[in-house]
Structure 1
């Protein structure tokens, strides 16, 4: 319990040092990771059942060679592909947004530095350092969030692509 309290205090100090923009970075990071976890869960648990059902339905068909049968096959593949691609665009967008949110923190931190310089002059280095921290910490946080999301989302996209190709290969058309 003491460890959690210490961890919470560290996070609060980090956010106080980096400014309120870190809440937006944290929200984007949380949403991005929840969506990536959901996509992994879908790929590992739901999609295999969907694939098995599609393959069984295709194998149960007596006609797999006609134009109509090929349209049915394409429709099933298209629907499964759409389900696999669901939320991938949102994940990519959140990955791209994290550094931009961090840059917003940079701008607001630099505004704080300039306000300090305008009101206190350049002699108070301690006040200027607080603004510089508010400028650099959100940038770092946004970059770290984007890098973690970029790595995982790339692997996720590769798994989605392999799942699509596996489905297409499992439905032979004669």
Structure 2
């Protein structure tokens, strides 16, 4: 148990060191990546748990409603529209968050480089090792922002394609008003 506590303390120490080295932008990227991860997890939950249940319910109500008259047809259209809207929920927000990550990373690098050049101008001692370490710290936000964006883009592309296929499947499988 003590070793687990020790590992946890070391990990939290390492994270706080990285956040300190990267500046305020890394903290903002951490918040942004948490929001992005929670939205992606919600979409995966919808994809594998909620949507199949909703689709089965929709198909069952559709079968029991045959033959369609105008009121049942309107209810069917409403349910199908709700399903299609649910398929695209949060995708545009996810896309925007993904595009923000590299931009915030670049902002962190620029602000870090400004700090490096300010400290070089103020100090008479310009040691190459210290400059290299400061520049490496300054580029950390860009690396993190691009990494988050890359992982987010892979997941977004998968979810977007699944959403498009599911919308087409709703129409092609005869679950549209024109097929009744």
Q: TM-score range by the shorter chain?
A: 0.7 to 0.9
Is the contact made by 1:58 and 1:73 (CA closer than 8 Å) also made in structure 2? yes
Q: Between Structure 1 and Structure 2, how many residues are aligned?
A: 173
| Alpha-carbon separation, structure 2, partners of 1:46 and 1:18 | 39
Contact 1:21 1:101 in 2 (8 A): yes
Alpha carbons 1:21, 1:104 under 8 Å: kept: yes
**What TM-score, normalized by structure 1, do the two folds share?**
0.87
Residue 77 of structure 1 and its aligned partner are, at CA, apart by: 2.2
**Equivalents in 2 of 1:11, 1:143: separation in Å?**
18
| Shift, 1:162, TM fit | 2.4
- Counterpart mapping for 1:3-42 below 5 A: 3-42=7-46
Which of the residues 68, 78, 85 maps onto 1:75?
A: 78
Equivalent-residue separation in structure 1 for 2:77 and 2:146 (angstroms): 40
2:99 maps to: 96
Structure 2: gaps of 5 or more residues? none
Alpha-carbon distance between aligned partners in 2 of 1:75 and 1:150, rounded to the nearest angstrom: 32
Normalization by structure 2: what TM-score? 0.84
Paired residue for 2:166? 163
The answer on 1:51 being equivalent to 2:55 is yes
Contact 1:105 / 1:134 at 8 angstroms: preserved in 2? no
Kindly indicate whether the alpha-carbon contact (under 8 Å) linking 1:95 and 1:146 is maintained by their aligned counterparts in 2: yes
The runs of at least 4 aligned residues of structure 1 exceeding 6 Å deviation read: 66-69
How big is the alpha-carbon RMSD for the aligned residues of Structure 1 and Structure 2?
2.2
